Structure 1
Amino acid sequence: MGCGRVGASLAEQLEANGHSVAVVDQNPDAFRRLPSNFGGRRVTGLGFDREALAQAGIEEAHAFAAVSNGDNSNIIAARVVRETFGVDNVVARIYDPRRAEVYQRLGIPTVATVRWTADQVLRRMLPLGAVSEYQDASSKVSLVTCDVHTDWVGESVARVERATGARVAYLTRLGRGLVPEPGAVVQENDVVHLMVATDRIGAAQRVLATPPPKED
Structure 2
Amino acid sequence: MHVVIMGCGRVGASLAAAVERLGNSVAVVDKDQHAFRRLSTDFHGQQVVGGGFDRRVLVKAGIERASAFAAVSSGDNSNIISARVARETFGVEHVVARIYDAKRAEVYERLGIPTVATVPWTTDRLMRTLLPDGVASAWRDPTGKVAIVALPVHEGWVGHTLAELEQATGARIAFVMRFGTGVLPAPKTVVQADDQVYVAALSGTISDVTAAAGQPPEEAS
Report the Cα distance in structure 2 between the residues aligned to 1:88 and 1:16, rounded to whole angstroms: 21
- Report matched runs for 1:138-153 at 5 Å: none
1:66, 1:78 within 8 Å by CA — same for their partners in 2?
yes
Q: 1:170/1:36 Cα in 2 relative to 1: closer, same or farther (>3 Å)?
A: closer
- The partner residue of 1:177 within 147, 152, 172 is 147
Report the Cα distance in structure 1 between the residues aligned to 2:14 and 2:178, rounded to whole angstroms: 31
Q: 1:106/1:196 Cα in 2 relative to 1: closer, same or farther (>3 Å)?
A: farther
- The partner residue of 1:9 within 3, 11, 14 is 14
Which one-letter code corresponds to 1:90 in the other structure? V
- The partner residue of 1:79 within 63, 84, 92 is 84
Secondary structure of 1:18 counterpart: coil
Deviations 1:114-134 (A, max 9, x none): 1336xxxxxxxxxxxxxxxxx
Q: 1:195/1:42 Cα in 2 relative to 1: closer, same or farther (>3 Å)?
A: farther
Aligned to 1:113: 118
Q: Which runs of 5+ in 1 are unaligned?
A: 118-168, 183-191, 202-216
Deviations 1:166-194 (A, max 9, x none): xxx97533334136x99xxxxxxxxx999
The answer to whether 1:68 aligns with 2:73 is yes
Report the Cα distance in structure 2 between the residues aligned to 1:43 and 1:193, rounded to whole angstroms: 46
Which one-letter code corresponds to 1:172 in the other structure? R
| Offset, 1:101 | 1.1
Report the Cα distance in structure 2 between the residues aligned to 1:73 and 1:64, rounded to whole angstroms: 13
Q: 1:101/1:196 Cα in 2 relative to 1: closer, same or farther (>3 Å)?
A: farther
- The partner residue of 1:21 within 12, 26, 45 is 26
The answer to whether 1:32 aligns with 2:2 is no
1:171, 1:193 within 8 Å by CA — same for their partners in 2?
no
1:63, 1:87 within 8 Å by CA — same for their partners in 2?
yes
Report the Cα distance in structure 1 between the residues aligned to 2:69 and 2:120, rounded to whole angstroms: 20
Q: 1:12/1:170 Cα in 2 relative to 1: closer, same or farther (>3 Å)?
A: closer
Which protein shows a greater Rg?
Answer: 2
Which one-letter code corresponds to 1:38 in the other structure? F
Q: Which runs of 5+ in 2 are unaligned?
A: 1-5, 123-136, 150-161, 164-173, 183-221
Secondary structure of 2:120 counterpart: coil
- Give the TM-score normalised by the residue count of structure 1: 0.58
Number of aligned residue pairs: 141
Runs of 4+ in 1 over 2 A off after TM superposition: 169-176, 192-198
Secondary structure of 1:9 counterpart: helix
1:170, 1:193 within 8 Å by CA — same for their partners in 2?
no
- The partner residue of 1:55 within 60, 83, 86 is 60
Secondary structure of 1:37 counterpart: coil
Q: 1:78/1:170 Cα in 2 relative to 1: closer, same or farther (>3 Å)?
A: same
